[in-house]
Amino acid sequence: MSPKLSIHDALRTRARNLFQYTEEAFDEVFGGDNNPWRHLGAMAFFFLWIVTTSGLYLYTVLDTSITGVHESIDWLTNQQWYLGGMLRSLHRYASDAFILTTLLHLAREWAFGRYYGFRLYSWVTGVPLLWLMFFSGIGGYWIVWDRLAQFSAVASTELLDWLPIFSTPAARNFLNPDAISDRFFTVLVFIHLGVPLLLILGLWAHVHRISRVDHFPARRLALGTLVALLVLALVKPAISNAPADLSIVATGLRLDWFILFIHPLTDVTSPGFVWMLLFSGTILLFVLPLLPHPAPKPVAIVDAPNCNGCSRCLADCPYAAVTMEPHPDKAGHKIAVVDADLCASCGICAGSCPSSTPFRSQEALVTGIDMPQLPVTLLRRNLEEKVRRLEGATRILVFGCDHGVDVKTLESADTAVMSLICAGMLPPAFVEYALRGGADGVLVAGCRPGGCEFRLGDRWTMERLARQREPHLRRNVPFGRLRLAQASSHDGKALAEELRQFRTQLETQAAARPLPYHRRSAPS
């Protein structure tokens, strides 16, 4: 491994640990569903919707003439502060928040290694959106046409003049007051409306290969964020500087460092350095997926004779890798088809398949859709062997996740552990099978809400075992003998305590008596 790659991996590991510790700290206050750090993509969408809706109102009341644009915005800010002024401030702060959460989302995906393989398309389509985002933000400041807009316009055109695009320097247009006309602002407003539309179109392309996209965060998180923005808009409203005057040099301005950072960066370096930084950064983002990374895992395979076309795998796949097509052997029936380029190799589809029940009498269990690296038949064989070896008064089987807490540390004479690709790979019937095989209790350790490596594994696991989603746990299995735990990779001690409490519960309740043992008999 080259030193450069080692440095890159070390940086990613540090960044990932920082994100994980921050997310877990916020979990203690907000919980997983309402933790903004676990839903940065949804938060970015939410801020974009605020920017879009507030911007549409501001556009309807904006005077786009060179003399009226500043006056109309000033009227909104001071005279109609209760609506126009609040919306302008909301527009401003939501724009900053959109940029911040987008950059954090980018950094988080990089830190967790989510930029290659089946995620390659989403990563590549997301990079150009960064340019559209900043282009739209800078253009928005121009529309106000105050001293800050004047400063940004001159600085931006001077930066553009470094590139061999225009035959005459574009910055000259802002040196003469007579050079700017009403038509300039009409074109500017048109561009400021058009670029966000391209941004929204690009976002659709960015996520359209992902199923069940979180376009909005959880209700409590969304409402809390909106209230915070409204309070900020009321306490510190966005206001304009003095009207632009091209006969003087705009100085003493307070910049928006989220959007206009590029101007002071150009001042302290040079236009050439800034363009080199922007272009090299963009190229680096495109090249990242080409760097050495772990080999792709085997994708899910479909067994036609055992696929009944129920489409549960289609409904549960987090990345829209499953489609339903006409069955080759059964007229009028459907069969699942897996797109290898989109498959995350998570095994969630195997957990959703009704033929993944271990009670089937086949010696070699073949299911409708399965994972080659950990087929259901091997899962059943391992379960039988581990439960058979359990000793002690209270015997517990623990199912864990390869991307969560290391459950192997819990293994002992009275505790067997099985780590799955994802907790969502666990067919609910395996819980009952373990209890009928001699286990006194089953502990399922999934990831924290919003922390699943494959987005939906923790959610589907909890819903299936709570009998809220098919295939669900049968009603003859008492909840007292099942424990659901949500843990991250740093929650080893907490999970050990969860196991201890579960064992105490089993020892003190009547439900700890084993279910009648039936070797591979079909459930009723």
229-273 pLDDT, tens digit each:
999 999 999 998 898 888 888 888 888 999 999 999 999 999 999
**118, 210 contact by CB (below 8 A):** no
What DSSP letter does each residue of 385-448 carry, written as one string?
HHHHH--SSS-EEEEEETTSS-GGGG-BTTEEEEEES-GGG--THHHHHHHHTT-SEEEEEEPP
| pLDDT tens sequence across 461-493 | 999 999 999 999 999 999 999 999 988 888 889
Beta pairing class for 334-338 and 322-326: antiparallel
Token code pair at residue 229: 């923005």
* pLDDT reading at 2 higher than 70: no
**400, 417 contact by CB (below 8 A):** yes
Mean pLDDT of 43-47: 96
User: Model confidence at 428, in pLDDT bands (50, 70, 90)?
Assistant: very high
User: Model confidence at 510, in pLDDT bands (50, 70, 90)?
Assistant: low
Domains of the chain: 3-146+181-247 (1.20.810.10), 301-512 (no CATH)
C-alpha angle 153-158-160 in degrees, rounded to nearest 5:
95
d(CA 301, CA 16): 31
Arithmetic mean of pLDDT over the chain: 90
Check residue 522 and give its pLDDT: 35
d(CA 344, CA 338): 11
* pLDDT reading at 342 higher than 60: yes
More confident residue, 59 or 123: 123
